[in-house]
Structure 1
Amino acid sequence: MKVTALPWFAALVLAGCVSQPLPPEEAEHRAAAVHLKEAGAKTTPAEQRAALYLASAAESYDLLDSPKSREAARVLYNKAATDLVLLLRSSENGALWNRPLTLTSGGTTWRLRYAAGNRSGTWEPGRFTSFTAASEVGLKTIESHNRQDGVGGALVGVRKMSPVEAFAPPIAGVTAPVTAVIDFKGRDATLTLVDPSEEPKARVKGSERTLDADFSAPLAYYPQRSEFWTGLMGALRVSHHMGTTGLYMLQPYDPDRIPLIFVHGLISTPQMWRNVINEVEKDPALRGRYQCWVFGYPTGNPPAYSALRFREELAKVRELYPNAKDYVLVGHSMGGLVSRMQATTLTRESWDVIGKDKAARFFSKVKKGDLIDRATAFEANPKVARLVFICTPHRGSEMALGSIGELGRRLIALPVDLTSVVTQTMGDSLSLVTGAPGRMPNSVTGLSPNNPALKVLDSEPMTAPYHTILGDRGKGDGALSSDGVVKYWSSHLTKAESEKVVPGPHGSCELPQTLEELRRILRLHLDKSGD
């Protein structure tokens, strides 16, 4: 019995990717595949290779509507577009990038121009410092591959500048999904870099076509470290990780998208959100409407101090991007408290709920504008439009009182400059607002149900609508139900716009029920905000 190769497989055979006899009916792809294979020869001059990639793309382009050949043509076209971008951006220190080129190979001359970017779904070619083929990015840390099949070269665009730009992840830079498409008019070629999250389709060869795109690869591109180990060290050895504090944009800033900011909890890092962000990006109703940012911080610090640093980062955003859309904050565990303090106003009078005498004694030693004043009295950020709390201990966690909490309190080492400022300023008065006599406050004391600061925070209203997602392991009922770390009585908020109890532990962020509820809330926000 004769075995006929699938068209896409035949294309790979012709391109030299696999070894297999080629059926006669696939011969029409031969020229495109041969040119593609020849273009891969690294000993050939870069401009000649680019001409060969264009020849392969043009020959495949002509077959995109062929009933018999369209799939093989698509595979070859996509490969040629991908490799052409990689070649031009990396060759001769970028000298071939983003300028008109005249390219010749085998007696055929091509004229290539780059399409300018605009705010309706195409990238400016100069926006990125490098590219990686999406197919080359490992996805081990991504649970669900979020991609779509179509036309064009699926790439990860990377922008990594020196010095590091504001809000850019310092190691990898800012990444984005990019799809490269090439249109032809005779020997004139136009290369366009499309943002598939904004425009899932593009006009290629006179027709609107779904783009080939990978939305998971830009997330997976970031270096993966041991999340637990890094988070643990960030909690225990805070001074070694203070430089990691910051607000990081995972995508190029877009004034037309709503900033969706994720804040992690104790013994964690921003990496914990990668699959959550991937699931948000999977929803066509949300993709292209939100831009995902993360706030990272060493979690051994007191929540009030981390919240102060978060406020400072958001103030920098407002200064740099005054017309940015209002934010949606998503906080897990202690990250929920850090987020809540962005949408709450605390005055010195707010602290009277712990006793007027205690509050007066405490603030008698606090100077207006110093670190302690800024961490304990502040105004809500009017740019915060909505909050989502996931397993957040608004009234503390009893775990902070037990042997595990005691161990954590003893092991956490705060930066010397921070402890010296606090102890020299406050002395014994500090315990009036921390509930921890004789101890420097840290994240564990901050999460204790005995911490007066939680009572103060809980007494003041939030200035934006909020939602709660709670975990329940099924080992208790009502107020005694728990996610294993936070009990219902602590995570429940009476005035929340919605409350969703999911059947899971404290780390329930990636549960299907949690993800669906988060997507529902984000769609609701789009409807109510009019964005």
Structure 2
Amino acid sequence: MTETRLAAISAKAMAYRLLGCVMALALAACHAVRPPAEAGIHEPTLAQARARVTEALHIPDRERAARAWLRCAATAYRVAANGDQADEAASLDTQCTGKVLDYVLSTEEPRWTAKTLDLAGDALAVELRELSPALSGPPTFVRADEVPISTLLFGQRFATSGFGVAMVAGTPRCKGAPRCQLFPLEGVTRTAVAWIEWRADEVSPHLVFADPLAHPTERIGARDYILSVDTTAPYAALASTTQLKQLAIRGLIGGQDIGLRQGLYLLEDYDPHKIPIVMLHGLAASPLIWARLTNRIQGTPTLRARYQVWHVIYPTDEPVLISRLRVQGFLDRAWAELDPAGHDTARKRIVLVGHSMGGMIARLLTVDSGDTLWQAALTIPPKQLRGNADDLAILDHMMRFTPYPGVDTAFFLATPHHGSPVAVDFIGRLAQHLVRPHGTELDAIARVLKANPESFRPELLANFREHGLSSISTLSMEQPVSRAASSLMPVSGVRYYTIAGSLPGEAVPGDGIVPLESAFLPGAISTTTVVSGHRVYRNDEAINLIVKVLGGDTLSPGITQATRGTP
């Protein structure tokens, strides 16, 4: 055999081997990740998508079944984009997306990033599309319908069914930036929605996660579809992880944990145009008491478009005037971070909602104290007091203040504006022995009192020696400063509403804690009594009244009401 022929055979063999390698690589690549089988079909049909459903239901292997569900969703999206049987196709896309999510959420890493998944050889690109900026780092996702909703706490689930699967996105709270302190310590949860789309110019379908509140609709072909959203699930998911209720009770009798959590917290992204509703809990309580009202506001589209909910946590063992000063500081720090220039319309029409002692704080944020409180406590003007300048400043800020800027509406729920007999009965006396607050402000007052004993009114000193200085002692009208504070009314221009509970059979008409005569205020726009104990914040009639005043329907159209709350 000639050398030339050997060379030709060798070259031919090499060419076959190269061709074989190329074909093997191509086949391997196709097996690794490939678009759905319908990629080669010019016009996918709804029948093809339905066939994938039948296929998925008969495949025992979870991954291969998930691939069939993916092909169903991707094909249905193409059909919807083409305009034929669009509504049915969009609905089928949503159903099949849900099945894909059931698989990938159980098999992939919990923290999601933009990546490409391989479902039994089919490629699926993950896209995080304009989620809430409050989410710090890669989020976790859970289906909203898998988040349990406590009917006692939340009353009902607010969810709108549309295109896509309603989700909850969550991350830990961010670190380092001052704004991070405005998010709950448990983390950040926000609404999300997921769907599978397969556009004509794309090789592979996408699993899209987006924010349905920022972008309520999605255009498919020539039509806009309302996206699915569940506004209850994010708050419920957050509430299920917190121990605030236990911390609040322990905080009343000296526990320090609630003090570490004190501050103002945003439950949604700050909007410079939406009116803040600042909610203030009462004695031994936490913002969890506002679950029903918060849920109602966030779940009612007309209210959600106009208002943003802010929750406050504060230690409830301290005197009311110190708590008022603390809340003022929380608001000041929040505005310094959110609106340092002071130009946002959000700060011009603030709504306060307070329950019990929180209602007393809310009222004191709407009044001009003048010298009323100072003269009830001391016999000389501020400049004549001896002591450390910082201590004297704290006392002055506690006793003399003006309405908080921007507040124009307040709701007082079961608020003992004129004291509570509980503060002087056996339970109250016992609580006065157990509740022994301590802190910077109380230490400052003690030092000023020690340096100027002759300048404080004898009645106040006698009350202080007998009952101490705490939230419980300041609920009694025997305390002269509290008695003076009860006479201070919201300034002109502030609209306020009182809502009181009344239980049948009470010796003193009221909710068992606060008498009706103490809960009512002259000059209120409305005074409402509901059949309820002290937990008026759970009463549907009370919540309906607040919703009506705020401008929302008592039952919002287009909202799914899962469970009706009980008074």
**What is the TM-score with the length of structure 1 in the denominator?**
0.78
1:265 CA displacement: 0.3
> Which stretch of structure 1 is more off in the superposition, 516-525 or 302-311?
516-525
Contact 2:193 2:227 in 1 (8 A): yes
1:207 aligns with 2:223: yes
1:264 aligns with 2:281: yes
CA–CA distance in structure 2, aligned partners of residues 81 and 154 of structure 1: 11
1:252 aligns with 2:269: yes
1:110 CA displacement: 6.4
Q: Which amino acid aligns with 2:146?
A: E
Please list every run of 5 or more consecutive structure 1 residues that lacks an aligned counterpart in the other structure. Answer: 1-24, 526-531
Q: Which amino acid aligns with 1:496?
A: A
1:158 aligns with 2:170: yes
2:320 aligns with 303
1:27 CA displacement: 8.0
1:289 CA displacement: 2.2
Q: Which amino acid aligns with 1:185?
A: R
1:281 CA displacement: 2.4
1:473 CA displacement: 1.9
1:351 aligns with 2:351: no
Contact 1:39 1:53 in 2 (8 A): no
Residue 158 to residue 61, structure 1, CA distance change in 2 (3 Å)? same
Residue 487 to residue 506, structure 1, CA distance change in 2 (3 Å)? same
> Which stretch of structure 1 is more off in the superposition, 56-65 or 228-237?
56-65
Q: Which amino acid aligns with 2:154?
A: I
CA–CA distance in structure 2, aligned partners of residues 70 and 362 of structure 1: 73
CA–CA distance in structure 2, aligned partners of residues 162 and 73 of structure 1: 35
1:398 aligns with 421
Q: Which amino acid aligns with 2:322?
A: Y
Percent of aligned pairs with the same residue?
23
1:312 aligns with 2:329: yes
1:148 pairs with one of 150, 160, 164:
160
CA–CA distance in structure 2, aligned partners of residues 336 and 363 of structure 1: 33
1:373 CA displacement: 2.5
Q: Deviations over 1:409-457 (max 9, x none)?
A: 0111323665544323213548755872314311101111223333333
1:282 aligns with 299
CA–CA distance in structure 2, aligned partners of residues 340 and 437 of structure 1: 24
Q: Deviations over 1:299-345 (max 9, x none)?
A: 11111111111111100111111226032111000001122222223
1:455 aligns with 2:477: no
Residue 68 to residue 41, structure 1, CA distance change in 2 (3 Å)? closer
1:436 aligns with 2:459: no
Spell out the pairing of 1:18-417 with structure 2 (5 A cutoff).
28-31=49-52, 55-62=71-78, 65=85, 71-80=91-100, 90=109, 94=112, 96-97=113-114, 115-116=129-130, 129-140=139-150, 141-163=153-175, 165-171=180-186, 173-186=187-200, 188=202, 193-197=209-213, 200-222=216-238, 223=240, 229-322=246-339, 323=344, 325-326=346-347, 327-347=350-370, 349-351=371-373, 354=376, 358=379, 360=381, 364-365=385-386, 369-370=390-391, 371-415=394-438
2:502 aligns with 472
Q: How many residues align?
A: 480
Task: Identify which of structures 1 and 2 has the higher relative contact order when contacts are C-alpha pairs closer than 8 Å and 6+ apart.
Answer: 2
1:210 CA displacement: 3.0
Q: Deviations over 1:238-295 (max 9, x none)?
A: 4343112111112222223222111110121111111221122232221232221210
> Which stretch of structure 1 is more off in the superposition, 308-317 or 321-330?
321-330
Query: What SS does the aligned partner of 2:533 have?
Result: coil
Q: Which amino acid aligns with 2:542?
A: T
Residue 161 to residue 476, structure 1, CA distance change in 2 (3 Å)? closer
CA–CA distance in structure 2, aligned partners of residues 105 and 415 of structure 1: 60
Let me know the Cα RMSD of the aligned residues. 3.8
1:399 CA displacement: 1.3
Residue 502 to residue 354, structure 1, CA distance change in 2 (3 Å)? same
1:400 CA displacement: 0.5
2:18 aligns with none
> Which stretch of structure 1 is more off in the superposition, 509-518 or 173-182?
173-182
Tell me which structure has the larger Cα radius of gyration.
Answer: 2
Query: What SS does the aligned partner of 1:254 have?
Result: coil
1:168 CA displacement: 0.8
Contact 1:318 1:324 in 2 (8 A): no
